[in-house]
Amino acid sequence: MSVRACLTGVGGYLPKRVVTNEELASRIETSDDWITSRTGIHQRHIADETETAASMAASAAREALAYAGADAAEVDAIIVATATPDEAFPSVAVRVQAAIGANRAFGFDLSAACSGFIYALATANAFILAGQARKILVIGSEVYSRILDWTDRTTCVLFGDGAGAVLLEAEDLKGSGRGILSTHLHADGRLGDILYVTGPGSKAGAVLKMQGRDVFRHAVAKLSEAVDEALEAHHLVASDIQWLVPHQANLRIIDGMARKLSLPEGRVVVTVDRHANTSAASIPLALNEAMRDGRISKGDLVLMEGLGGGLTWGSALVRI
């Protein structure tokens, strides 16, 4: 029997507090025009003291299970992509397991920065194809507000907090063609110093550092390669893609990828204007929004892609 990992549920969580560009401009030397013209960001959600990577991930997971009509007791595994765990250990994943009552599931965290969700999706897909699990929650959850230098206008304006989740289930293909068609992962540690977070053991504590121009330059080139790779793997052309769900880092990067695929604006899911860059949470949050409002529906061919610190990058081609 041919089995494929099918995406059956989506969920998301955004912190209650919204911080606008105008509010940031009242505290640091910046402006709404400066931020918007360079990034497309107008606002972001910031976690309060009661909201954690684990609590947000659990909320997103519950939504994904409800969407799929599944019970937490049926879940075999939980994989959380995060660069901002609440603790070194236990992992966010096992905190989620306890919170939602997925008592039979194993769980672990995965760190690949902003491309973490693509890495986690690929890992979950491999477990399902190998027959080691049939239902897996894949979650991206981040609280970047706790690792930002809030006096650095070049970085603190870019990020927000949140969590997104999907449920993957093993399904007999039966000629439907649904599910994850392929994933494509890459990394280049030689470029690690252009985007990184210092470790908790460093003198400065955990603080994000970024060389924005270099990241932008590599993002456009490497994401283009990952997109081409996904299309070529299935003998597809850009016009076959119905939806692009990119990592939400910068509107100019998103627009560049849309132009490469010749996709009209209405076929690209954009949340960066309202969510900012939520790192590993950005793709599942965008997917959750577009599936719940009916833009993306069953049978649509969706391309996801992202790049993050490491550098790490990748793409995933999924038929919903």
Structure-block tokens of residue 188: 């280049």
Task: Please indicate whether residue 247 is annotated as part of the active site.
Answer: yes
Q: Give kind and range of the element (H or E) at residue 183.
A: strand 179-187
Taking alpha carbons only, the member of 95, 93, 145, 155 closest to residue 124 is 93
Q: Which of 114, 125, 156, 250 is catalytic?
A: 114
Phi and psi of 18, rounded to 5°? -110, 130
Q: How far apart are the C-alpha atoms of 37 and 30, rounded to whole Å?
A: 12
Which is the catalytic residue, given 247, 250, 275, 288?
A: 247
The partner residues of 11 in beta bridges, in order of sequence, read: 165
**Catalytic annotation on 277?**
yes
Query: Which distant-in-sequence residues (6+ apart) come within 8 Å of 191 by Cβ?
Result: 214, 218, 310, 311
Asked if residue 281 lies in contact with residue 53, where contact means CB atoms within 8 angstroms, the answer is no
Question: Residues with catalytic annotation?
Answer: 114, 247, 277
